[in-house]
């Protein structure tokens, strides 16, 4: 069984003390490849460095999260374009809108989002999308650019049936995290999972965030890591009435197709 984690924040400082061990544990847990999320100028640079250090095993995205939208000046935009062109970078993002936190002004978020969609269209790579409490504006902007994009994934989808239908109508892939394991706020997701075509469904941890609440035993640190991807995948498989092996095969195939990943070449140990 092979799994691919499409979204892990492996540059996060919580991994500074044991990043190599985290990568090794993921490999032992059947996670054959991972996409390291770039969400700022600094994390994008670090994601590229990690991908270069683990060829064929780690890949990177290059992007500016809406929380950091105010950072996207002309200098950073030019650097982002240079980094995004590297072969180890498989997507532009994490980009989008976040009206829940509003760490950046909404108009600034919208401009940064559009610039990154335009970048993705220019270089012919898919986009790794973030949206929270901003569905209408997010979809309106995305609709204007969707025809020019080679592909897109709605990272960490947590929305309603109507929001899912809108994403599928735009031919977005859907990324599912441990949110589906959260009995307080994720129970609405399970009935929606059968509505997602297998070729558009992907799985991710968003580590170190979103540790599955039903994971037992829970790590003392409460830090999520990619070795727990199979737990998320099992919850997703159960919701779809599939075996874990079926789910692993379909999500891996869908991920390789969207991000144009090469086949995994065995277990890489750092």
Question: d(Cα 147, Cα 10) in Å, to the nearest integer?
Answer: 31
* Res 266: pLDDT: 54
Give Cα 168 to chain centroid, integer Å. 17
Q: Above pLDDT 70, what percent of the chain?
A: 98
| CA distances for 53 relative to 107, 226, 264, angstroms | 37, 18, 15
| Cβ(231)–Cβ(204) below 8 Å | no
Helices 106-123 and 74-84: crossing angle in degrees, nearest 10, is: 30
pLDDT, position 265: 76
Using CB atoms within 10 Å of the CB of residue 78, give its burial: 0 to 12 exposed, 13 to 18 middle, 19+ buried: exposed
Q: Residue 85: is its pLDDT beyond 50?
A: yes
Does 263 have pLDDT greater than 60? yes
CATH class of the domain defined by 3-259: alpha beta
Cα–Cα distances in angstroms (integers) from residue 129 to residues 20, 97, 188, in the given order:
27, 9, 21
Least confident of 5-9, 116-120, 251-255, 266-270: 266-270
In angstroms, rounded to a whole number, what is the distance separating the alpha carbons of residues 140 and 209? 28
Q: Hey, CA dihedral for 208, 210, 215, 220, is it positive or negative?
A: positive
């Amino acid at each position: 069984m092979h799994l691919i984690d499409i979204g892990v924040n492996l540059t996060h400082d919580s991994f500074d003390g044991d990043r190599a061990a985290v990568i090794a544990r993921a490999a032992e847990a059947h996670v054959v490849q991972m996409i390291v999320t770039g969400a700022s100028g600094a994390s994008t640079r670090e994601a590229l460095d990690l991908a270069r250090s683990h060829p064929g095993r780690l890949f990177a995205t290059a992007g500016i999260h809406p929380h950091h939208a105010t950072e996207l000046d002309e200098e950073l935009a030019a650097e982002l374009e240079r980094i995004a062109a590297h072969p180890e970078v498989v997507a532009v993002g994490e980009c989008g809108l976040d009206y829940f936190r509003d760490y950046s002004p909404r108009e600034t978020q919208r401009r940064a989002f559009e610039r990154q969609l335009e970048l993705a269209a220019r270089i012919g790579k898919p986009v790794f999308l973030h949206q929270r409490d901003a569905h209408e504006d997010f979809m309106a902007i995305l609709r204007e650019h969707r025809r020019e994009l080679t592909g897109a994934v709605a990272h960490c989808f947590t929305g309603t049936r109507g929001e899912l239908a809108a994403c599928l109508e735009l031919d977005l892939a859907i990324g599912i995290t441990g949110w589906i394991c959260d009995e307080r706020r994720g129970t609405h997701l399970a009935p929606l999972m059968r509505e997602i075509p297998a070729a558009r469904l992907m799985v991710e941890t968003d580590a170190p965030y979103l540790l599955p609440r039903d994971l037992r035993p829970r790590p003392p640190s409460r830090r999520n890591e990619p070795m727990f991807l199979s737990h998320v995948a099992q919850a997703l498989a159960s919701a779809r009435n599939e075996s874990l092996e079926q789910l692993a095969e379909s999500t891996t195939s869908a991920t390789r197709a969207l991000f144009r990943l090469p086949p995994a070449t065995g277990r890489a140990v750092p």
